[in-house]
Structure 1
Amino acid sequence: MSTTAPLWQTSTTELVNAITAAETEYRQAYAKILHLTAELDNRGDATKLGYSNTAALLIHITRINRTDARHRLAQANDLHPTTTPTGSVIDPVLPQTAAALARGEVGSEHVDVIRKTLADLPHLDTEQRAMAEQVMLDRAAEDDPKALTRFASRVRDIVDPDGPPPLDDEPQRPARSLRRHLRRDGTLEFTGHLDLDAAQLFENLLKPFEKPHPEGNDTRGYAERAGDAFADVLKMAAHSPDLPTHNGLRTEVAVTITYKELQDALDNAVLTDNTSLTAREARRLACDARIIPAVLGTDSQPLDVAVPAYTTPAHIRRALVLRDRGCSFPACDRPANVCDSHHVLEWRKGGPTKLKNLALLCGHHHRLIHHSDWQAKMVNGRPQFIPPPYVDPSRTPRRNHIHGPLPSAA
């Protein structure tokens, strides 16, 4: 963009490119500030000038508030070497992040997300920490800080799927409780608490029964519908011919892994509300859960059936949910139950209603695909999205790393 031409004469492409370049320069300048701040703190120059600490000096020389001063100092100390009072030099906690910030590839908020993610994983060894940092930086190259925060929950599963070793005092029984009071008139009041898998089972059992009547004359409130649904579930349980009298079935789990991987106890399981499980949790559930086998074709793709209809049939919808798990647009965390079935090749242009031509998209991203320059395509049976040139000049295809299979740690 010309520096002399008025802004109103610049094209949209030039304006967008100029903003991108300015943001890169802004981040590089911020990286320089942190580097200088780290050096100032390591020298102890603040006390030489009569200040109690470096943050107090920053407030006066930069005219920022105390919160910002402390924030910059904390970032500087994590991204650069620090010197102890005895003169020992401690390596930086996040050297790769410091380099990425210096190149203008990430911003201050990205740095905060990466710092918090690594701080929440204190059990990782040096190699695992470096791997986790690089995984986060790879995602930061495409994601905004909020999306990066959502992805952060998966980092542990990528670099350390088994998690930290259990503590000696780790509770062996799930945290469940039920307090009930039988009134004189025979009615019952109760309160309680359910752990993750029991809560998932409870929700899945209630949902089909608590919907309003389809006739449209249902005057019940949500609490009344839930109460009726609970009673219906109890009736079903009472009439179930194979319900055990003790130690009933805990949950049903759809495991999207091969039979050999299941035998090897590797992890790629997810509950129907897209709650991820660690390898340890998956193995624990598999010990006494009812496993639902999902028939998969080559490359772990659920088998589909050709149906010449626009509306996605229930059996293909189930396979679509099993594959995508939620909105398939990059960095979107919307669950499958609020998503539409999007035809990658439009149905009116001959696109079939088959799994290989469908992708789950939330309402926002469904509209974006139809009304913007983002493009969707299927690659190896999974949806990928090509950003417009103003988002990524190379137009490198992207996919959702929140819902999708965990990337390799190699």
Structure 2
Amino acid sequence: MQQLEEALDALAAERIEGLFGPALLERLAPLLAMHNRLAAEVARTVRQCELAGAAEHDGKASMASWLRGHARLPAGAANQLVRNGRTLAQLPAVASAAARGDVSPESVSAIAPVVAPDNLAAAHAQGVDLPGVDATLAEVAATRPHAELRQVVNHYLTRLDPDGPEPDPTEQRSLTMAKHTDGSLSFRGELDAVGGEKFQAALESILQASRPAGDTRTRAQQSADALVQLCDNALAAGNLPILRTQKPHVVVRVDLQDLVDPATGPSAAQTGFGTLISAARARWLACDGGITRIVLGPEGQPLDMGRTHRVVPHHLRRAVEARDAGCVFAGCDAPSHWCDVHHLVHWADGGDTSLENSGLLCERHHTKVHHGFRVERDSGGRWRTWRPDGTEILLLPRIPDQTTRSRAG
């Protein structure tokens, strides 16, 4: 152990700042192999601790609880480490490859279901050649991509029970949501294979259809924007089931003085599900929404309720869609049915609701315009986009098609 510590100290003392790519990659490759070897040794030791009941020495009931308390590992990582130790103990070929550094701890985790008690019992009952399966899994884990390893493991597990009942997909689906104090939403879920395919297909169609020039969003941000756009499309279509006696839509309650005040106004408005948002966000939602005036008494009781008026009437929206065809933000090609009608000079600031004062903006760029960007239509009918610092977003000139150039020549 002392020699290992000395070697790690020497590695940590090496200066790698300023090294170029090839040199860094040459350093990284053996480090990854050593990482795999060390992870395999940790898993092997955890397994021996489990067999020896070592956790009892420190008053712990299991190695998973010991790892959570003494190694400060999260529950998922502690359980995974215990499973990896059990997997390596029962698959010697995989254990040997991991000890050489050829198999990562993540690959061992993917293989772990093979040695689950019920799967081992099914394999013994059917006379499966477990050493052969072990060797095959070790080779795939060491030489093939991780996704392919998972497919091989899944194929093996399904072959163990080829005549078993097809699972109900609804039993494999779950979605939980947690709302934070600022109104943001975190969620986690699980979908069966078919449900997951539908989900990916829907998101990918929107994601690939909206890739404006100069887009700096990460893949995760693009996917989240696509999910919000998918919800926008479903709400706008009006085909969702009735919710609270009305077609589902976003509801916001905001005081009149906050609605017309150009200030940000944090926590000035409340949504239908109880989230507090800023007045600026309420004005953004109101750009292409409907407004209902409600007069409240001194104790909060409604005294008068006016008719709901659309800020942008339907005939004006059709005219704006016919003129703009899609999002007018520079470099965006989002179609019109993804867009809201935006007031170039906001109606709360005295701008009128007219064709000349309107433009189509997708959900993403509508937000950008309400956070400092600006779009305007020049006298020639060309849309121009300006950054918050006052500089204009200019698109790169299109490269002529090769056939067009040859004919012109």
- TM-score, normalization by structure 1: 0.32
Bigger Rg over Cα: 2
Structure holding more helix per residue: 2
